[in-house]
Structures are given as structure tokens and as C-alpha cells.
Structure 1
Amino acid sequence: MTGLADIADVGRDPRRGGYSRHGFDRSELELRAWFTEEAQRRGLDVTVDRNGNLWAWWGTPGPDAVVTGSHLDSVPGGGAFDGPLGVVASLRAVDVLRAKGFVPRRPFAVVVFVEEEGGRFGVACLGSRLLTGAIAPEAAARLTDQDGVSFGEAALAAGVDPLRFGRDEEALRHIGVFVELHVEQGRGLTVPVGLASSILAHGRWRFTFSGEGNHAGATLMTDRRDPMVPASQVVLAARRAATDGARATVGRLVPNPGGTNVIPSSVDLWLDARAADDARTRAVVERISQAAKDAAEEEGCAVRITEESYGDTVHFSPSLRDEIAGVLGDVPVLPTGAGHDAGILAAHRPTAMLFVRNPTGVSHAPEEFASDEDCAAGVVALAATLERLAG
């Protein structure tokens, strides 16, 4: 698909495969420059809000705008479509509407949110969370990547002043409705385009196990307080606790100091947990947390559990969804287990999501896929939606 092909070489990850593009890193900055150039080539006026999100305006900015867009960053080793497809489709939809001679009657913008995946600084949807006030600006600025660079430092290096981070009333007033197009991230869609109904409640928790660092060869097994032992139990506890449609994943585990012949002194791991509603999600985390505490006590270690981010179940605007369905016809409506900027904005403005079929059912991995024909169908559907909302 034109647009995606233009950025296909940006941020390739030779070790993991796929792409590693993270908030304010070199690859994401290159993509931000690409978006700015593409938007300006279409006559759109590009601005940067106080939290680093990019806005490309078709006409004069104003309140009650029709806004579409997505993000350009990825998880480590992610696929080519998660995020960029929504941005490219938004620009292509502008082309489709312009070719028809359409002129929006409402203010109209394409937005690119920063650090949606949380792949660098650990908290997902940072740009939309800051915009809506869902995270304290000081807390966001203090978040650090694996090299110790803070989100505030990275933003400042990219020309965004972290002292201006925070809830953006002007940007919120601009959003009348928000529609995000995204590749579907499961096997729920069997036709080219669908609509989202809801997002599972989900969050991220950090487990820090502390024990005693020591020599791997000189320390008897009976003398050890090895934090890797209870940490490993959390991986198994997550699998056992995720029942009845819940999901629990340990995708990152970091021992300190990390030597092959060293018993670690501490181990950090991160749990991602999701379920249909708040109560079930919290219950899953509680079961895993209790297993972590029991395992730590048995090994003579301590554990600290920190909630790093959380979002309750999101139900997208039924009236907006029905209006879009009236435009698109009999398209399927399905829930998703994946979080999105649209889910953050849903607490403040009417939001909707369009999905494009992913025949592999794989996402957050190089095998993520959408055909050119289905991507084109997504562009047509998005253009028709925007024409209805802005016309």
C-alpha cells in the first residue's frame, strides 16, 4: 500500500525482526518528519500540541472538529501495520475526498499520537493520556527507558517542552468526534472492514523481587535467596489465573545484574492483564499477586508490586457507531482486547474505531498483515465515514 511502502525501511529491527519505533527515538522522529511532509504536500497545516502530538488541519482549526488518525510508534519487533496503517489511511482518505471535490463543513484534522505502545517508556497511550489528563505530567516526564533517558528528556531533545505537559483543554475542545482506523489484532474479522464495540479492561503491573546476589558456583542451593525463582513462578501463575476469556502475559523480565554465572540480586518483570471488566481484571491480578507473594516468602525474598497503568472497560459511542454502520452497511461489530488512543479519548468525546482484516490473526509481531485490497477497502470506508461526519 502506497504510504506504508514509503516508510517500510524506517525502524527495521535486525535482531527481533519487524520494526522497533518508539516515542521520540530516531525512527519515530523520522516518521514524524515523513508525516509532516506528506500532510503539507496535501495542503494541510501541521501543528504540535503541548504534549508532542501532531495535528494536520484541513482548513482552519476550530472546535467540534472531526478528527481521525492513529500512531506511528511500535512495540519492540512489531508489525508494519499497527499504528501506521491508521495514519496512512487517514491521509489517503483525504485524497479520496479531495478527488470527489469534497470540502468539509466542520473543522477536520488528522492526528498522530506520541508513544501509543509504551514500548520505550512503559506506559501506553502517553500522548492521549497527557492530552486528557489521565496521567500526571510530572509522572509522565519522569518515566525512563532502558538507557535511563526520561520521557521529558527525550521530548525536550525533540523540541517539545516537558514543562508544558498536561491536560490540553484547547485540543479537547477541538475534538468533536474521533475515528481511528486500525489493523484488527486477532482473528475476529472475516470480511475486509469492521467496527469496534468495546475494549477489554487492561493494565500493566511491575513486580520487583529482591533477594541476595551471589556466586553461581560457590553458593549452595540451600543457601540461596534467588529472586529469579519467585519471578519464574509469576509466569506460570499468570497462565493459571487467566481463565474465562481473561488474558495475562509476562512479556518482559530483567534480572540484575544479569550475569550468566551470577545469582541475581533483584528481578523486575512486567505483567499485562486484561479481562472483560474491571472486577474480573482485578481478580486475575490479585490471584497472580498472591502467588508472587507466596513464592517470594518461600524463597526468602521480598516483592514489591506497582500498578504502572490501567484502563477500565471502554464502550465506544453507540450512536456514533450506529451512524457509521448506516454509512458502511452491514459490517460486523466486535470487541477488542487491544488498547488504543481512541479508548483513552472515549471517556471525553464520542469515539469509534474501524478495523481492517488481519488474516494471520497475529499482531505485535512481524507476521502481522493486511492485504492491499483490504487496506484499500479500509480507506474507502474511512473516507465515507469522514464525509458523513464532516459534510
Structure 2
Amino acid sequence: MTSATQLLASIEGVGRDPRRGGFSRHGFDRVELELREWFLAEAERRGLAVRGDRNGNLWAWWGEPGPGAIVTGSHLDSVPGGGAFDGPLGVVSALSAVDMLRERGFTPAKPLAVVVFAEEEGGRFGVPCLGSRLLSGAIDPDTARRLADPDGVTLADAVTAAGLDPARLGRDDDVLATIGTFVELHVEQGRGLVDLGAPVAVASSILAHGRWRFRFTGEGNHAGATLLGDRHDPMVPAAEMVLAARIAAADVEDARATVGRLVPNPGGTNVIASSVDVWLDARAPDDAATRRVLEKIRTMASDAVHREGCVLTVTEESYGDTVHFEPGLRDRIAAALGGIPVLPTGAGHDAGVLAAHVPTAMLFVRNPTGVSHAPEEYAEPADCESGVTALAAVLGQLAG
């Protein structure tokens, strides 16, 4: 049996980001394609038959593919400068759990698959869980094909370069129909398990969350020659909008609002920008609360735009309502694992997208720092192995 930490170590040199620290692995780029080849090799080493679907997701099958399959896995891409565990831990744990089950002489009575979903983080094309959204029909394929990365490469271009047909992107009922139950293991993105003193938990829910682009348009001009009173500087309302995000989220219980990306055009030090794009990530316990946060930010940004004589446009790039994982499956898993804790999460996952279509569950592995989406993200080897043991037990029960 190859441990999860050994498998993680085998890819620790792939996609390191010397500028940001951590890893930058984005959907269908050179690094992510290298990780796909690694996954193919590991699956073939285990005698698993790998099939790619038309949306770029990879499926490694133990048994003949068919309806009622028990599916596990996660993703291999990352946010810019992300940690080593978000995504890959779920993939390597699935492979290691297959090893563990085989060592015990287990043979699944149902088809069992390990899946790698494409572009889960949205780090390249801006929409999270893109592979599972396309698979399930949660995003219009024409919209998806037009998505472009910061270099102007569209998703259609990227999948073509990867050997896929962009015309075939979209809902895949044949693949979706094979999934009987999906269980995703993930490093916890928070401190819940640290505070509880437990290595593994099962998920209860995912906060409602979305991403919006605020575009502030003004008048580009000379930084030295333009008097303050003559300016229509979009950076000023953009800056006020960043502060508005904190203020708005603080007014709604358990809400979060974040600006992690801001791009001025043309971006010169001695130039008043002509436009500024600001991306907002907002999350709250339910749809109504999330929308309240968004509307307060929009209102405050609109007021700032009016004062500066600029124009604001707001575009919703992705949205997911609150996800409540199937209670019967959740409780069955918690009981089978000795009554492990049940935790909500503020992070989005492919499991949350699929939950609208198939019974879905998640396992979390303790993160001692609580830090995620950053190089400091971590899980102790012993906790990783506890996660593998838990996942193997769940897969054995569901597929037995």
C-alpha cells in the first residue's frame, strides 16, 4: 500500500510557484496536464481503467463502469500560490484507500471510481468547480466556452489544446447516471477539527457563495498633470468597495466577503486608470443573507462611483446556493466511523455541485493551522492516514 503522504510527496515538485510560494496548478495548463499524466500512471499501476469524459474530468474505474457506482476523488488544480493539500489530498487518499481495500481482500459489489475534476478552483477561467458544473449542466456550455484566462486564452482554446472537442462540453447525462453516491475527502479549510481535537469529520453543509466582477470605469489621464478636482479616477471607488466588503459582511451573521484580485487598466504607476476590475467573493449561511451582503456592497460602491463621476457595472460570474448534504448518508457515515464530528464548511467543492443530482457526502481531515489557499496549508501524516482509513471504511460499506 502506498500512503497518502508518499503519493503527495511524488508530486511536490510539480507546479511550485517561486514568486508566490506554494503551488500554481491551473486547469488545462502545462502543470495540470502533467498532474493528469501522473494520475493516469498511478491508476494504471493499480489496474484501474481510466476514461476521460467530454468535460475534461478523469475517471479511474475499479470494475466495469455502470449505474449505481460509488465515486470518490477531488481535484488536482490549485488557486494561485495555493497549498499542497487542497484537492490533491482527496485524490491521493482515494488511491490509497483502493490499496487498503485490496490488501484486505475486498472486492466491490458495485462499480467504484476515483475521479479527478477539472478546474475546481477557477484559478484560470474564473468559475469554480467548472468540470462538475459542466458535467451536471450547472453552467451553460456556450458561456463556459467563452471564459478566458488573464492571457486571453478561452476555455475552448485550452480544451482543444488538451485534445478535447469544445463543441462537446456540457451536461453529460450518461456519465452523471453512473454515479450512485459521491464521497469527497478534503483537507479542512478552517479550525473546526483543531478545536474539537478530532482528526476526521463529516460535512453537514456548504455556505451559499458567489463571485462577482465589479468594473469601475472612469477617465484615464496623467498622474502629474491632472488636478484632483478634474479627475474621474476609478481606483477611488474601487478602493471604497474593498472596504465596503468588510463592512457589509460584518453586518450579517457568519458572512464573509473578500476582494482577492484587483486589476487596473492600463496599470502604469504614473497613470490614472481608465478602468479597474475588482473581484468579490461573498458567502453567508443562506441565499438571502448572501444577497444582502452583495446588495450592501453594490449600494456603497454605487455611491462612491457617483461621487467620483465614474460608472459601475457588476457581473455575476458564479453562484451556488446553500448545500445541505443528504442527511441519511451523512449520519450513516458518521455512525460507521464511530460518531465522528459533523461540521459545516464555508468552502465550495465539487461535492456541493453534485449534491443537487446524486447523494453526496464529504470527509474532512484536520488542518492544524486552519490555513488554506496558502502555502501554510497542512495536514499531519498521521491525520492523513486517519482520513484514508475512514474513506476506505466508507467506500467498503457503500460498495460492499
Q: Tell me how far 1:292 sits from its aligned partner.
A: 0.8
Q: Tell me how far 1:354 sits from its aligned partner.
A: 0.2
Is the aligned partner of 1:156 residue 2:163? no
Moved over 4 A (4+): none
* Corresponding residue for residue 194 of structure 1: 201
Q: Tell me how far 1:152 sits from its aligned partner.
A: 1.0
The 5-angstrom pairing of residues 135-174 of structure 1 reads 135-174=139-178
Q: Name stretches of at least 5 consecutive residues in structure 2 with no aligned partner.
A: none
The 5-angstrom pairing of residues 160-309 of structure 1 reads 160-190=164-194, 191-243=198-250, 244-309=253-318
Q: Tell me how far 1:326 sits from its aligned partner.
A: 2.0
* Corresponding residue for residue 371 of structure 2: 362
Q: Tell me how far 1:325 sits from its aligned partner.
A: 1.3
- SS class of match (1:2): helix
* TM-score of the pair, normalised by structure 1: 1.00
Structure 1 residue identity aligned to 2:153: V
Q: Tell me how far 1:231 sits from its aligned partner.
A: 0.3
How far apart, CA to CA, are the structure 1 residues paired with 2:371 and 2:331?
Answer: 28
How far apart, CA to CA, are the structure 2 residues paired with 1:32 and 1:83?
Answer: 13
Structure 2 residue identity aligned to 1:28: E
Q: What is the CA deviation profile of residues 235-290 of structure 1, one whole-angstrom value per residue up to 9, with x for unaligned ones?
A: 10000001211000000000000000000000001000000000000000000000
Q: What is the CA deviation profile of residues 112-132 of structure 1, one whole-angstrom value per residue up to 9, with x for unaligned ones?
A: 000000000000000000000
Is the aligned partner of 1:374 residue 2:383? yes
* Corresponding residue for residue 85 of structure 2: 81
How far apart, CA to CA, are the structure 1 residues paired with 2:386 and 2:343?
Answer: 18
* TM-score of the pair, normalised by structure 2: 0.97
Is the aligned partner of 1:18 residue 2:22? yes
Q: Tell me how far 1:330 sits from its aligned partner.
A: 1.7
- SS class of match (1:320): helix
How far apart, CA to CA, are the structure 2 residues paired with 1:259 and 1:325?
Answer: 55
How far apart, CA to CA, are the structure 2 residues paired with 1:245 and 1:319?
Answer: 26
How far apart, CA to CA, are the structure 1 residues paired with 2:163 and 2:45?
Answer: 22
How far apart, CA to CA, are the structure 1 residues paired with 2:114 and 2:339?
Answer: 26
Q: Which residue among 339, 342, 345 is the counterpart of 1:333?
A: 342
* Corresponding residue for residue 315 of structure 1: 324
- SS class of match (2:243): helix
Structure 2 residue identity aligned to 1:36: L
Q: Name stretches of at least 5 consecutive residues in structure 1 with no aligned partner.
A: none
How far apart, CA to CA, are the structure 1 residues paired with 2:17 and 2:398?
Answer: 39
- SS class of match (2:269): coil
Aligned length: 391
Report the identity percentage: 73
CA RMSD across the alignment: 0.5
Q: What is the CA deviation profile of residues 135-163 of structure 1, one whole-angstrom value per residue up to 9, with x for unaligned ones?
A: 00010011000000001110110011110
Q: What is the CA deviation profile of residues 87-122 of structure 1, one whole-angstrom value per residue up to 9, with x for unaligned ones?
A: 000000000000011000001100000000000000
Q: Tell me how far 1:76 sits from its aligned partner.
A: 0.3
Q: What is the CA deviation profile of residues 62-100 of structure 1, one whole-angstrom value per residue up to 9, with x for unaligned ones?
A: 011000000000000000000000000000000000001
Structure 1 residue identity aligned to 2:230: D
